[in-house]
Each structure stands twice: as C-alpha cells, then as structure tokens.
Structure 1
C-alpha cells in the first residue's frame, strides 16, 4: 500500500489528453472509495466506520500567462497543490480538485529542455516537504509525474536523491503518440533526462501510448498501489504422483486474482452529521441513533437521511434523497438481453466470476406452454441453439440488471456468458462476467526469449501426463466428505449432551414421534 501523489505538467498535456487523464483520476478515486477492504482481525468496528484512509494527493504545474495569447516562455511556472490528503479520504473534495484543473495550461510552442528556464517544478514539490508529512511512516509514498518537462536535470536529480533518502519513489509517465511509441522516437532532451536519472533506484521512467485502454490499465495498477492487501500473494504447490522430469514431482506458483467485485449500486442510508458515517438506529420504545465513532446518542437534527453509501466506508451527502437507490430482491423471473456472440477459445477464464447456473428449457412457462405444441417448439429451439453454439465453439454474452450472485436488482449492469455443452443435463451454463471496472491488472511476467522448452522437457512432460487418468469429470465420484464430517459432529454432540444429562431427553423426544416408530 502507498500514498500516491499525482503531478501533472499541464504545459505538455494537450486538452484532449488532459480530459482523459482527469477521467482516469476520477475513476481511480471512485474505485478506491467503492473497494471493499479486507477484514482486519484486530480492527474495531468504530475504526472501520471512520472511513477510508486518505492516500491520494493531486498537484499540477502550469504557467500563469498560458491563458493569454502572449508568449509564455518568459513566465515562471507555478506548482499548485489541488488536493492535500487528510486523515480520511473525501471523495467529493477530490472530484472537486480534479474538475478544477485548468484546461488552458498547454504550451505547444514551449522549448522543452532549456536549462536557462530554471524549471524545477518537481524539485519545488519536494522542497515544500509537505509530501514527507503526508500519511504515516509505515505507508510508502510515490509521486506519479505525468508528462514532466525534462528541464534543469541537475536540480531535479538532487531533489530525487533527497526524496530517495525519505523513501519516496517517483514514476515518470511519458505519454507519447503511437508512432513515437512504436518507432522509439524519443526527443533528445527526454533521452538526456532518462540517462541522468537511470541510476537512481527510486525512479522509474515508463512510456505509454495514451490510448483509452492503456490509461484504464494504469488506473488499475494505481489502485493496486492503494490497496492494503497487495503484498499478500497466495502461493501454491501442485503435486504430481509421477515425476514430471527426472525426480521433480511438483511445481511452485503464485496465485493472483484477476477481478475485483464492485457494488451493484449505491443504497441510501442515514448518516451522522458529526463524522459523516453511516448509522443504524436502535429501536426500543422510541427510535434512537448512536454515533458509530463516539457512541454518543444523537438527536434527529444530528442525522441526515439524504446520504448514499459508496462501498463500505464512504458516504456522500446529497441535497435530496433522490440520488440513492435501494437494491431489490429479484423476482421469480430474470431477464437477460443477448448482446453479442463470442469465440469461447478467446475467452479469458479469469474474467468469469461467481458460481455457474444450469439452464434447461422451460416447459411450464406461462407465455411458452400455452399449448403442448408451443412447449415442444420452445424445447426444440433451445436444443437447436445449444447444438449450433457448440458446433461453432461460441457463447452468447448477455446483460442484465440482476446480479445472480446476490440475487438483487441493482442500478449497474451485469454481464453473463451463456456456454453450450455437448450433452447431458448441463446444456447451457450462465456465468457472470467481470465488467471493465472489475478487471485487475495481470502480474508482470515477461518470458525470456532465450528460455525455450527443450525437447527433453517436452517429451518428459507428455510421458508424465500420459500416466494421469483421463476421464470425463463426474462430481458424484469426487466427494468432499460433507456427510461423514457432519455425521461425526452430530455423534460428538450427542455424546456431549449425554454427559450433561440431555441425551435421555433427546431420545425420548425421538421415540415419541410416530414417524420413528
């Protein structure tokens, strides 16, 4: 987990790109606010109710005269801090700061790289020393400098070395057009800048093509930096009965989640005005409200009804109660809209979330089974669809406002995959697909081009796999031990009851029931 301080050099960011970057920052704040934190075994309920810790900061560099038509080369750039992190994250204030970033800061004719300009904007951020006081010492700090001018590299290098002593990392994000990105067309001043800082361990220079998909990926990587559970990597060992090669019978791996659940909507709630936390009223002879932070009894004037919950720890106050939405339980019928086909061979299994549902043709639907002929036709269409999809190795992507994992109707869309099978009762499966907001970045894994699988390993692996039984999966043959475990627990419970004198009572109750005689 880290505190992220964004530094945007507005002089090098064209307005269309700046608009996309502002959207990225808003999306990052939204995802952070709506993220469900992992349970902390020693955390108190009052601490959980206090809100999210503030780990976002926002600053930007612009020239005061850039709005005018006069030349801005002689004006000194200014460093503005738009959002300073407090104790708890304030989603509304961060949105306000991002929306107030000026759009007139772009200077297309600026001569980037002139040492005489004295531009040390990033150095000014460090010299302010405010960033060193943000967050606690156990939280790492990272500055994400986007489109920074590579001017006065000597002063900048000294500041970066001072930041390294304070354990502050810096990521330089260079957003370049596709042509420059593909052909390595790096400006000379930028290349000189990279050479000046490449030996600093706390600095990384990253080049990206500013396409929307690339920017969305950056947002997810920044979100991973903000989360508490990033460093908790699941490790696994796969054991084999027969050696894979020589005497090796295992493979060690790391497990990474590929998707993160988000809420289906933003329900209305009551919140205290003193701390802005959601509250639950206690009903006795009259309604009482308690502050979740201080446990102080609140009067009705201390409580607002016009609030909505964003995730578990973020509350937004609204002028009216119309902005919130309460999730409704699903009825007996769920509507799915088929929106497109997809090749199953290209489907990423990592985006399939939750449990699957078996789908069979309905014979008692009110609209379908008006006559036996209609019912037969519905069944034939179902099997025809299933056989055709299986032959094409394709599935159907559907959308619905119902989340079948929670069985509630939300205000956000859910997407599902309809998968055919060749035979058996599992004719079609419905599985929820992760939306774009839920996809997590894949771990960096660059396979070395020199690391090729030798013929010896390939032949050995094929031989080892041939010794493993190949069967059609039948869940009946793979017991989890539920009944045997539960039966043993019941038996132990009966023995415990006998010691307390309760076993004879249980036996008498069973014997008096005619169903057991």
Structure 2
C-alpha cells in the first residue's frame, strides 16, 4: 500500500499550467475511484475505498510576504471523491508570482519539506499501520537550491520511515536561460544521487506528459505487483542459458460504462446492495446490521465503480444502458498504419466482417455493388498495410449502448474478409515501463546474431489452431468416465422409484405379451400402474455399463 502526497508550489505554476495540472489530479482521483484495491493480488471485500491521496500547496502570505504551506485535502480513512474534487477545484488561482518565471532555483526552506515531512502532516497519515508506504511528489517550475545539511537529514530520516520523495520539474523558462537550467538540473541531480529514496524528473508540461504522469501515479495507488514469468526453450538459447526471466505488465485498464443508481445508509453512506449488486428486501446497515427506516436511507445516490458512492440531489437523468439495435453504426475516423499499431492496444472479442447479404435497399444490383465496394476496400487497405479507426456508441463486449465513445480497428486481409477489434481509449492505456539498455549497439548486434542462430534451430511454421490442442476434450472425457463409476443419479425433481415388479419388467421387454395376459391395451392400464411404468428407469449398473462401453470406444477409430 502506497499513499501519495502532492505538494504543489503554486507560486511557480502559471495559470494555464495549474489548470492542466488540476485536471490531471481530478483524472487521477476518478481512476482511483473505480479501481479495485487489491488489483491482481486479491479481491477486497471492503465496502469503502481507502483514502490514499493527500494534497498540500505552497503560497506567499500577502501580509508577511513569506511562504506558507497549507493542506487542501487530508486522508481521513475512506476516500471521498467529492471532497477531493472540491479541494482541487478550490486551489488558489491567484498565487502565481510572475517574477519567479525566470528564476531557476528557490530556497529549500521556501519549499516547506520539513513541514510536510513531519508528524503533523505526512507521518500522521495511515495511522499506526507500519506497512503503509508514503510518497511525496513535489511539483514546481523551479528547482531547489543545493540541498543543505538540514534538508538532507530530513530526507534521510524520511527514508527510515519508508517515505520516498519525487521531485517533478515542469519546465517553464524562456529560451535565453536553457544553458543555465541545464547546469542547475545536473547539479541538483548529483546532489540527490546519494539519497536512495529521492528521484528527480524534468518534463515539458504538455498533455501527453501529464497523462503519463497520471497513469504512473495510479500504478502507485493501486500497488499491483507485476506478474513474473519465464520463457523456457527446449534447446539452449545462448551457451548454457535455456530460459529468460521476464515481468508481465498489463497494457490495458478497462473503465466502467455507466454509473448505477443505488440507495445508501445515511449513517455510513454504504450501498444497500448484496454482493451481487441486487437491492436487498430489508434495508439494514451494511456495517451494524441494524434495520433502517425510511428516514435512515438516502435514495438518490450513484455508484462509481464498486466502492465509491456519490450522493446526488436526484438521478432523474439516469437511463439504463439499452441493448444494441442493429445495424450498429461504426463511424470511420481515420486510416492508420498497421505497422505502428501496438498489439497491446487491441482488446476484446474479434468479429469477422463480410459484406452483407441483405442490403437496406432490396435490390440485386445494389447488393452486388455493395459487395464489390467491400472487396475493393479490403484489397486497398491490405495493399497499403493500413486499417480504419472507427468510433461507436456500442460496446461489443456487452452489446449495449454506452454514453462513452468506443473505438475499433478494421483490419483487412488478402482473402476478402476483414476483422473488427476494439481499441483501447486514452483512459484505458497504461504506459509501458521504461527499459534501460545496459549495453551499447555493438554488443546488442553481437547478441542479436548469437540469439538468431539459436532461433533458426526452432521449427518455423504457419500457425494452425487445429494442430494446437489445449486438451479440453481429453480432460472432460476423463472426468465424465470417472463420474460414470457412481452410476446414474436421479434429478432433484425425481423420487427414487420402487423396485420394478415382474409384470413391469415384462411390460418393458414386450408390450404384446402384456396385452395377451391382461386382455387390455396400454391405454387401459390402471392409472397407478401406468405412472410406475413411465417413471421406471433401468438399474444404475445397467446404465453405467452401457455408457461406459460407449465412452471407452475410440470415436476416431476407422
């Protein structure tokens, strides 16, 4: 678990930059509100989301002209999306000091690191939980001066308390001071290089950079452990090495399609739904279990994800997602080069796309023209090695209309059919971790040639799914065969029938013999006897032997 504390130096952040930064913080809170606390490691049964985001800022006091640090949002147990939005939206917008625009550094005391890294602020967050890691993110457009001994001691003490400090410099300088800031950046980086819990990054504050920072902060909040894997080869891939260790990093993070209305208890604000999301017959508090009356309920609430609730004045605007009515509209946005398309961004169920056999205009000539245009489109895209990016209000995974845009890629082929796959949108993409190169180009070339020689020894074929069985049928057949040893069991609606009499056995073996002995046909049997005949089943031993003989035979035997 990692708690994030943002420290914004509002004196150095210009109004446009502060506006973009505020939107980034709101996006981070929105992502966290719909996230699963345990990620890949576990599924949390908690009814609320842990409060793991704090927000502080530095401004200049108009009276004393000295810098001050203030808390905008302090973690208090359960995360409140509404309160965090309120805190971010109410950050002072008049704290920017233009005279600091061309300044490269500010003093360490002005940054108030000592105030934030104290028992009154960051160290008091998380209670007595020693497993809680904390991270301070200092965002400014000015560097700190060379760290003095006091500031270094504060940072060393923070490391002992499992607190890391990330200095983020959003460059806002004129072209005339590029050389000066470069020297200052190098000096600051060297100054903190011996502090293991400190890191420094300088970024240009454009939209892509801020989006990447948001996703990195989200990964800290979610605290997901990377899956570890190994690539094992039948032969050594290099010298005595026959396996390569790697980490599995997800590239896709799905978002929800709607915000569902719900009732919550007024005492704790928890949804009054069972674990399957169904409204409970009796309204009881999920925490205390006490039955709630009408006045104890808040009816107008919306669920954002599974553990975040917004109290609303009303949700009359809410409309439940509708099932898709065909035909589904896919609006073509642009062409894209398939060579530049990352496979990690293609998600969801694929759909084979062929020309329609029944055109909207019931005309043979129109249908033929539709087919020819489709084939021409597929051939043209294939020759260009390009696909079409489309948008739609239909989510093909749920087959429901969604208020959010869904994006798709139409992939051509050389045989006249195309493939439709869903593409991840900006909210659903997680940045790929940076991979540092520990060897130069010459070493990389030598390694490539050595590994290539080993790869050529591995059989190369076109992939044919028919020749790659997963073993499903073999496993299920074996389970059924083992189950047959228990014989045939009656269903819940059936009763165990009594032992059949000799007359019933004779009836099933030959109905004509029964007619001759009784002088009646089957429809003239007494009602109770007919019910016994209809309900009778062969003994379990006979049925088991018959089925076992069937399943043990080889279905592929010539």
Match of residue 246 from structure 1: 239
Note the alpha carbon deviations across 1:90-148, whole angstroms, 9 max, x for none.
Answer: 00000000011101111121467576x95352212224532112113211001101116
The match for 2:58 among 51, 61, 70 is 61
Q: Distance in 2 between matches of 1:216 and 1:131?
A: 26
Q: Contact between 2:38 and 2:222, CA under 8 Å: does it hold in 1? A: no
Match of residue 253 from structure 2: 260
Match of residue 447 from structure 1: 437
Q: Does residue 140 in structure 1 map to residue 165 in structure 2?
A: no
TM-score, length-normalised on structure 2? 0.80
- Once the two structures are TM-superposed, the CA of residue 205 in structure 1 deviates from its matched residue by 1.6
Equivalent residue of 1:308, what SS? Answer: strand
The match for 1:404 among 386, 396, 400 is 396
Q: Distance in 2 between matches of 1:258 and 1:493?
A: 42
Equivalent residue of 2:425, what SS? Answer: coil
* Residues 1:448 and 1:415: Cα distance change in structure 2 (over 3 Å): same
- Once the two structures are TM-superposed, the CA of residue 190 in structure 1 deviates from its matched residue by 6.2
Match of residue 379 from structure 1: 371
- Once the two structures are TM-superposed, the CA of residue 310 in structure 1 deviates from its matched residue by 1.1
Q: Contact between 2:136 and 2:163, CA under 8 Å: does it hold in 1? A: yes
The match for 1:167 among 149, 162, 169 is 162
TM-score, length-normalised on structure 1? 0.86
Q: Contact between 2:50 and 2:77, CA under 8 Å: does it hold in 1? A: yes
Equivalent residue of 2:401, what SS? Answer: strand
Q: Distance in 1 between matches of 2:234 and 2:118?
A: 61
Residues 169-208 of structure 1 correspond to what in structure 2 (within 5 A)? 169-177=164-172, 185-186=180-181, 193-208=188-203
Q: Distance in 2 between matches of 1:207 and 1:44?
A: 36
Match of residue 381 from structure 2: 389
Equivalent residue of 1:124, what SS? Answer: helix
Equivalent residue of 1:296, what SS? Answer: coil
- Once the two structures are TM-superposed, the CA of residue 452 in structure 1 deviates from its matched residue by 3.7
Q: Distance in 1 between matches of 2:439 and 2:179?
A: 21
Unaligned stretches of 5+ residues in structure 2 = 491-495, 497-536, 547-558
Q: Distance in 2 between matches of 1:218 and 1:40?
A: 21
Residues 316-465 of structure 1 correspond to what in structure 2 (within 5 A)? 316-365=310-359, 367-368=360-361, 370-423=362-415, 427-448=417-438, 450=440, 452-453=442-443, 457-465=447-455
Match of residue 505 from structure 2: none
Q: Contact between 1:181 and 1:207, CA under 8 Å: does it hold in 2? A: no
- Once the two structures are TM-superposed, the CA of residue 192 in structure 1 deviates from its matched residue by 5.3
Q: Distance in 1 between matches of 2:266 and 2:542?
A: 57
Residues 203-214 of structure 1 correspond to what in structure 2 (within 5 A)? 203-214=198-209
The structure number with the bigger radius of gyration is 2
- Once the two structures are TM-superposed, the CA of residue 329 in structure 1 deviates from its matched residue by 2.7
Match of residue 12 from structure 1: 12
Q: Contact between 1:12 and 1:149, CA under 8 Å: does it hold in 2? A: no
Q: Which of the pair has the greater relative contact order for Cα pairs under 8 Å at 6+ separation?
A: 1
Aligned length: 492
Q: Contact between 2:9 and 2:57, CA under 8 Å: does it hold in 1? A: yes
Q: Distance in 1 between matches of 2:187 and 2:282?
A: 66
Q: Contact between 2:36 and 2:222, CA under 8 Å: does it hold in 1? A: no
Aligned-CA RMSD value? 3.2
Q: Distance in 2 between matches of 1:506 and 1:320?
A: 65
Q: Distance in 2 between matches of 1:252 and 1:127?
A: 41
Q: Contact between 2:146 and 2:188, CA under 8 Å: does it hold in 1? A: no
* Residues 1:411 and 1:454: Cα distance change in structure 2 (over 3 Å): closer
Compare 399-408 and 20-29 and name the one that shifted more. Answer: 399-408
Compare 400-409 and 173-182 and name the one that shifted more. Answer: 173-182
Q: Distance in 2 between matches of 1:209 and 1:464?
A: 43
- Once the two structures are TM-superposed, the CA of residue 499 in structure 1 deviates from its matched residue by 9.3
Equivalent residue of 1:298, what SS? Answer: coil
Q: Contact between 1:26 and 1:98, CA under 8 Å: does it hold in 2? A: yes
